């Protein structure tokens, strides 16, 4: 059976559409669409891959829900086949003679406290229920997060809009920024996904549309992971860095500091 990626491609070709046609209509970068057709779903986080696949399916006339059901079925790992149990025939053997041991001295049994017996039974039941509940929870796969494409874009635009306003002087973060701080600016020419970590903070994800302008400040360093890096140009403290990778590729965990600039 053809994969869901081949089904998307076949539907596109049946309507005589090009990847550029879908990209123009959905605003999804053409390299991301090409990667989806090739089954390269590790180029972006699953949140964006799923949103892009739903947009693709809807545009070529397929049912997005059905496409995602097939995609989820492809992601489930197959259980390894177990070899059939081997039945070993036991040959008749002589029963070994066990020497009789001397009878053990019989000691009187101490009667069990009824309260202690009740506590022991309750403890065994609690342990059994805990193990059963743990097996049930761990055996169920986590549900995939479904986020509509528009919601993905709006969420990222709200975050990047705040950062863009800050870079233009429309908003100021609390506290003063030291004079020797780093300022990283980015200008996109196409759709770009990016994950950015400032100093030792938590990473943040951005989905930038074409012609987006955004900047960030740090004290010591930036750590970048960028999808489609050829479509974004960076500048560090007024020094152009240019693009950091090839079109359609992914650069991962690239560190940018004042003394250590990325190599192209």
Residue 61 has pLDDT above 60, yes or no: yes
The whole-chain average pLDDT of the chain stands at 74
Considering 144-148, 168-172, 220-224, 245-249, the range whose residues carry the highest mean pLDDT is 220-224
Compare 54 and 104 and report the one with higher pLDDT: 54
* pLDDT at residue 190, as a whole number: 87
Residue 174 has pLDDT above 80, yes or no: no
CA 261 – CA 241 distance, rounded (Å) = 8
CA 254 – CA 245 distance, rounded (Å) = 11
For the entire predicted model, the pTM comes to 0.48
Partners of residue 12 on adjacent β-strands: none
pLDDT in tens, 223-241: 999 888 888 999 898 888 8
Compare 131 and 157 and report the one with higher pLDDT: 131
CA 20 – CA 31 distance, rounded (Å) = 10
Burial class (CB in 10 A: 0-12, 13-18, 19+), 132: exposed
**Sequence-separated contacts (24+) of 142-146 with Cβ below 8 Å:** 144/46, 144/50, 144/68, 144/72, 145/46, 145/47, 145/50, 146/50, 146/68
Residue 5 has pLDDT above 60, yes or no: yes
Mean pLDDT of 113-127: 67
Mean pLDDT of 202-213: 88
Compare 105 and 205 and report the one with higher pLDDT: 205
Residue 176 has pLDDT above 50, yes or no: no
The continuous run of DSSP H or E covering 185 comes out as strand 182-188
Residue 13 has pLDDT above 90, yes or no: yes
* pLDDT at residue 82, as a whole number: 60
Report percent pLDDT > 70 for the chain: 58
Residue 65 has pLDDT above 70, yes or no: yes
pLDDT in tens, 31-54: 889 999 999 888 888 888 888 998
Q: Which two tokens stand for residue 169?
A: 């002087």
Residue 14 has pLDDT above 90, yes or no: yes
Count of beta carbons in the 10 Å neighbourhood of residue 121: 10
* pLDDT at residue 26, as a whole number: 83
The contacts of residue 234 (CB under 8 Å, 6+ apart) are 184, 185, 186, 240, 241, 242, 243, 244, 256
Q: Domains along the chain?
A: 4-75 (1.10.260.40), 175-257 (no CATH)
CA distances from 264 to 57, 85, 232, 246 (A): 36, 58, 13, 9
CA 25 – CA 28 distance, rounded (Å) = 8
CA 159 – CA 44 distance, rounded (Å) = 19
Name the pLDDT band for 221 (thresholds 50, 70, 90): very high
């Amino acid at each position: 059976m053809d994969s869901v990626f081949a089904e998307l491609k076949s539907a596109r070709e049946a309507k005589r559409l090009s990847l550029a046609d879908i990209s123009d209509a959905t605003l999804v970068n053409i390299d991301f669409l090409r990667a989806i057709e090739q089954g390269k779903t590790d180029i972006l986080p699953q949140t964006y891959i799923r949103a892009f696949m739903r947009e693709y399916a809807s545009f070529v006339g397929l049912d997005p829900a059905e496409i995602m059901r097939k995609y989820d079925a492809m992601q489930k790992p197959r259980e390894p086949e177990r070899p059939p149990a081997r039945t070993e025939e036991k040959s008749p053997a002589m029963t070994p003679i066990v020497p009789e041991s001397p009878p053990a001295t019989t000691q009187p049994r101490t009667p069990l406290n009824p309260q202690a017996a009740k506590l022991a039974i309750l403890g065994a039941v609690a342990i059994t229920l805990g193990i059963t509940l743990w097996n049930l929870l761990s055996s169920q796969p986590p549900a995939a997060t479904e986020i509509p494409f528009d919601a993905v874009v709006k969420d990222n635009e709200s975050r990047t809009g705040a950062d863009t306003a800050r870079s233009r002087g429309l908003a100021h973060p609390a506290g003063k920024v030291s004079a020797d701080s780093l300022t990283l600016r980015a200008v996109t020419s196409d759709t770009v996904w990016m994950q950015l970590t400032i100093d030792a903070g938590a990473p943040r994800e951005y989905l930038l549309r074409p012609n987006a302008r955004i900047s960030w400040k740090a004290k010591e360093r930036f750590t970048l992971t960028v999808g489609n890096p050829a479509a974004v140009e960076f500048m560090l403290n007024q020094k152009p860095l240019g693009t950091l990778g090839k079109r359609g590729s992914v650069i991962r965990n690239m560190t940018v500091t004042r003394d250590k600039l990325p190599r192209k």
